[in-house]
Amino acid sequence: MLKNISSVFWIVIVITAAAVLWGIIAPDNLQALSSSIQEYLTNTFGWYYLLVVSLFVAFGIFLMFSPIGKIKLGKPDEKPEFSLLSWFAMLFSAGMGIGLVFYGAAEPISHFAISSPSGETETAQAFRDSLRFTFFHWGLHAWAIYAIVALCIAYFKFRKDAPGLISATLYPVFGDRVKGPLGKLIDCIAVFATVVGVATSLGIGATQINGGLNYLFNIPNNFQVQLIIIAIVTVLFLASAWSGISKGIKYLSNINMGLAGILMLFMLFAGPTVLIMNSFTDTIGTYFSNLVQMSFRLSPINEEGRQWINSWTIFYWAWWISWSPFVGIFIARVSRGRTIREFLGAVLFAPSLLAFLWFSIFGVSAMNLQQNDIFNVAKLSTETMLFGTLNHYPLQMITSIVALILIAVFFITSADSATFVLGMQTTYGSLNPANSVKVSWGIIQSAMAAALLYSGGLTALQNTAILAALPFSIVIIFMIVSLYKSLSKERRELKKTDAYQKPRSPRVKKA
């Protein structure tokens, strides 16, 4: 088995183990250093994150509407491996999962009652802004990052028969150098970003499960309980990973979509239904009409506004980038046989609209309690805001337990998907990495999550995601150049064949 494991595996294992030991031996030192670097990066490169992520959105939309969109991610006669519903469930579960449940009520209520992007709190304008910026953080920009990485991997893997590695997508730019040290460096960056991004989400999931158990059953909310939660869920997702994508992840993703749909529909009708739908519709309009302005908003001379953008928008863009190797590779793996246009249309817009509806339902339900002085949701910790909201609507115990199960299943699907991707990236792009490799990565990413929680909780998780994102964002830029270069070449070749020509009208002979 060892001969099928690349050197990337051992390099990243050593780096990750060192980070875990650092977090255990000197947690305060790790927290202080990561906070200092994070502050420097967000203050110095905030403009860069905004520009580069907006570039990803523009490039994705351009490809979707260009003639290139007809090209299939696979051979011309290939059919999709998964049904539309299963495909959508898997990409959505892997793409946002835990974050949706964690921030579903917390982000809108935070923007509304704690720290508003406009500086106002608990006003009509703050209400509208809270949903608009939440849509912005979880909409097209997030999914464009995933879509671009996934498209590059899928195109080169299934269309060009390249290895399923990040480095392999850069062959048109760097040539044979991707087979040497440069390629190893690129793959190490991708794998480490994946470990950090997933560890961040696993840590968030553990804190919210613990917060929910504390809120509902008075179970202590501390690191020891969170460590037990991580250990239990690790065993569960490793069992799922052992069974493979077509069984474990597929079935769990379908279960997840069902649970999320039930909880969402119940809250839609149990909550302030008309206000929810009015807010959803209104915010769709304000989101798209203000999209360009929000995409480049930095508040350069307003210190309070700049800090808000650093804490929310820049953090999210960095978090999505750190997740993109994992989510992108996983989406690529389950998207074989679809055209570029079909792929981009689904990945960019379908999950975004579902996220918009989710945040409208849970965010408006929370803000309704706050606005009408029914319950002060804003006083709660971030991980318990969802449970505090559910507690003031019908069947509160049942809905809270469903939410806990949903978080746990999202936890499992995210970690399960990540073990597959990490295994694939460290076994020369194999679509079926050995179970022993997947188990190794499962244990490592859980250990990383535990170490980050121990060294600084949620803040440490967020700081580390931002640190890992910057180098990989540069890799994505080169991936775009490489993809466009290869697609343009293929389009020129296809134009010379009948496969890309419009059928000519038959000539009619004159009598």
* Residue 480 included in any domain: yes
Nearest to 241 by CA among 117, 478, 415, 14: 415
pLDDT, average across residues 57-77: 91
* Residue 511 included in any domain: no
Question: What are the DSSP calls for 339-351, one per residue?
Answer: BHHHHHHHHHHHH
Number of CB atoms found within 10 A of residue 11's CB: 17
Tell me what pLDDT residue 34 has: 78
Number of CB atoms found within 10 A of residue 511's CB: 3
Work out the mean pLDDT of the chain and round it to a whole number.
Answer: 87
Residue with tokens 């918009």: 356
pLDDT tens column, 70-116: 899 988 888 888 888 878 877 766 666 678 888 999 999 999 999 88
Single-letter code of the amino acid located at 404? L
- Cα–Cα separations (whole angstroms), residue 499 to 36, 70, 257, 375, 494: 56, 11, 38, 63, 6
Tell me what pLDDT residue 461 has: 64
Q: Which two tokens stand for residue 5?
A: 């494991």
Alpha helices by DSSP H, listed for 218-249, are 223-243
- Cα–Cα separations (whole angstroms), residue 382 to 144, 147, 378: 27, 29, 8
pLDDT tens column, 133-168: 999 999 999 999 999 999 999 999 999 989 888 999
Residue with tokens 């302030």: 272
pLDDT tens column, 238-283: 887 776 555 556 677 777 778 888 999 999 999 999 999 999 999 9
* Residue 127 included in any domain: yes
Looking at the predicted structure, is the pLDDT value of residue 504 above 60? Answer: no
What's the CA gap between 144 and 189, in Å, rounded?
20
Tell me what pLDDT residue 194 has: 85
Looking at the predicted structure, is the pLDDT value of residue 205 above 50? Answer: yes
Nearest to 495 by CA among 159, 70, 78: 70
CB distance 384 to 147 below 8 Å: no
Sign of the torsion angle spanned by Cα atoms 333, 338, 341, 164:
positive
* Residue 497 included in any domain: no
* Residue 468 included in any domain: yes
Q: How many domains are there within the chain?
A: 1
Structural domain range at position 371: 2-491
pLDDT tens column, 6-49: 899 999 989 888 888 887 888 888 778 878 888 888 888 999 99
Residue with tokens 């579960």: 93
* Residue 503 included in any domain: no
Give the range among 270-274, 473-477, 491-495 with minimum mean pLDDT.
Answer: 491-495
Backbone angles phi, psi at 339, to 5 degrees: -75, 160
pLDDT tens column, 334-385: 899 999 999 999 999 988 998 999 999 999 999 999 999 999 999 999 889 9
Looking at the predicted structure, is the pLDDT value of residue 465 above 80? Answer: no
Secondary structure (3-state) at 163: coil
Backbone angles phi, psi at 509, to 5 degrees: -75, 140
pLDDT tens column, 387-439: 999 999 999 999 999 999 888 888 887 777 788 888 888 988 887 788 888 88
Give the range among 183-192, 367-376, 448-457 with minimum mean pLDDT.
Answer: 448-457
Tell me what pLDDT residue 500 has: 46
pLDDT tens column, 288-307: 999 999 999 988 888 888 88
Give the range among 52-66, 117-131, 134-148, 421-435 with minimum mean pLDDT.
Answer: 421-435
CATH number, domain of 272, equals 1.20.1740
Tell me what pLDDT residue 2 has: 56
Single-letter code of the amino acid located at 110? S
What's the CA gap between 329 and 373, in Å, rounded?
46
Q: Which residues are CB-contacts of 249 (< 8 A; sequence separation ≥ 6)?
A: 90, 93, 94, 240, 413, 416, 417, 420
Nearest to 163 by CA among 343, 350, 329, 282: 329
* Residue 508 included in any domain: no
What's the CA gap between 333 and 331, in Å, rounded?
5
Quick one: three-class SS letters along 176-218? HHHHCHHHHHHHHHHHHHHHHHHHHHHHHHHHHHHHHHHHHHC
* Residue 48 included in any domain: yes
